[in-house]
Amino acid sequence: MCIIRKKIRHVSINHAVLRSFQKRALSGCLPEPSSFPSWSFEQRPFFRYELVHQSTKSMARVGRIITPHGIIETPSYVPVATNAALKGVDFRNLDANVDQHEGIDQYGQLVFSNTYHLILHPGREVIRDAGGIHKFTGRNQPFITDSGGFQVFSLAYGSVQAEREQHSELKRGHTVDKPYWSTSEDDNEDPVEVTEDGVMFRSYRDGSKIFISPEITVDAQKDFGADIIIPLDELPPHHISRSTLVDSVARSHRWEARSLRQHLKNVNGQAMYCVIHGGLDVELRKQSVEYLTSLPFDGFAIGGSLGKDRDELKNLLNWMMPMFEKDNRRNKPRHLLGIADEESIRHAVTRGIDTLDSCYPTKLGRHGTFMTSDGLLRIKQGKHKKSFGKKIDETCQCATCRNYDRAYLHHLFKAKEPLAVMLGTQHNLFYMQNMMKKIRKDILDNRI
């Protein structure tokens, strides 16, 4: 494997020359699949995907992901517990498998936590010394952790999540001809410095400089002990130039191959997913799929820029997901990163997506927007002030809807009572998991 370790310095040359230099310097050499040990291509005894039913109407499929800490029914929504905690909801409520009132599956078992935040606090050593994330949280159900790259690159170029879910402009106005990350130690304007070795960034807690590399993020996730882990990748915005995107995809491939090698030194009962990149570029996405699926990863995550709106996301999935139906790719789980609005979910599952994560549903709930069978309901609106005896959703059997009406919930949110956060989040989590249960039933019945 060729590793270019020389840092690219900021020099006074035109951007066309700089991009050409970057492309030559960072092209690197990707390791061949044959360079990985033969045993790494065999199915893990502790982790596997089982197909239950393939729809006759679409690529939608119902399956089960077997992990050391439980079975994940798919397709499923994965709640985001950034700091190994859901805001406003206890894991004991989250993991209640059956609602005693109606016998409805309440919440999904896989939870997503963020390596970036956990490295900053409480620190990987604390979680390691506690016995791993399961013992630290007291939750004996599956966890997935990311590499931290999403948060780090959001520091460099605004919120990519906002770009995906709110269709907003990115916060920082770089042009497409300039790198969106710093290439100089003397550049104090950008909070992120990218080299072939990894990424240097400043802690949002105290401003101290922190360096992460593919190997460091893997070792941190070994300390955490999550059931599924993600390698370090580079996350550019959707509107960069193609030459910059080419460089970014190549760097992500090299980082992911390094991450995989580090992972295989100590598998630790964990599965590792690769992250497919390429933006909206068909050729680059195809190259990413072809290369990364040839390596001994346990599953596939769809990442990188997924477009500026839902239509671009849908189009991307339409032409890309059939690539995962070839050969043994269909035997591994597929995860869509950072997407969980209902319209996108319903489209994604018909294209063969198994799991999806996002803080979108829980964030809505915390701020007084409830997901219902009739669309989004904004409880802070004045019309709900005297909605006595009226539930948020007449069809819902969550604890919030069973016990509280709109008038009281309106009061809680307007009064900024902490209880409001819990009740809103609880409802939206129930709604999401009940929706996914219905989707699985529709797939089993070949309705979608």
Which residues neighbour 17 within 8 Å (Cβ) at sequence distance 6 or greater? none
Task: Spot the catalytic one: 281, 354, 357, 393.
Answer: 357
Could you give the CA distance from residue 128 to residue 222 in angstroms, rounded to a whole number? 8
Sequential pLDDT tens for the chain (448 residues): 343 333 333 333 344 433 443 443 334 589 999 999 999 999 999 999 999 999 999 999 999 999 999 999 999 999 999 999 999 999 988 877 434 433 444 334 899 999 999 999 999 999 999 999 999 999 999 999 998 776 677 655 554 344 334 433 222 333 334 444 444 444 454 668 889 999 888 887 788 888 999 999 999 999 999 999 999 999 887 778 999 999 999 999 999 999 999 999 999 999 999 999 999 999 999 999 999 999 999 999 999 999 989 999 999 999 999 999 998 999 999 999 999 899 999 999 999 999 999 999 999 999 999 999 999 999 999 999 999 999 999 999 999 999 999 999 999 999 999 999 999 999 999 999 999 999 999 999 999 9
Could you give the CA distance from residue 336 to residue 352 in angstroms, rounded to a whole number? 10
Could you give the CA distance from residue 5 to residue 197 in angstroms, rounded to a whole number? 6
pTM for this one?
0.86
222-258 pLDDT, tens digit each:
999 999 999 999 988 777 899 999 999 999 999 999 9
| Active-site annotation holds for 90 | no
221 closest CA partner among 130, 312, 120, 119: 119
Which pair of tokens denotes residue 280? 């909206």
33-69 pLDDT, tens digit each:
999 999 999 999 999 999 999 999 999 999 999 999 9
Sign of CA dihedral 96, 99, 103, 105: negative
Q: How far is CA 215 from the centre of its chain?
A: 20
Which residues neighbour 409 within 8 Å (Cβ) at sequence distance 6 or greater? 379, 384, 392, 400, 420, 423, 424
Residue tagged 């050499």 (tokens): 29
| Active-site annotation holds for 357 | yes
Task: For Cα atoms 32, 36, 40, give the angle at the middle one, nearest 5 degrees.
Answer: 135
Could you give the CA distance from residue 143 to residue 110 in angstroms, rounded to a whole number? 5
Which pair of tokens denotes residue 91? 């894991």
Task: Spot the catalytic one: 146, 197, 298, 341.
Answer: 146
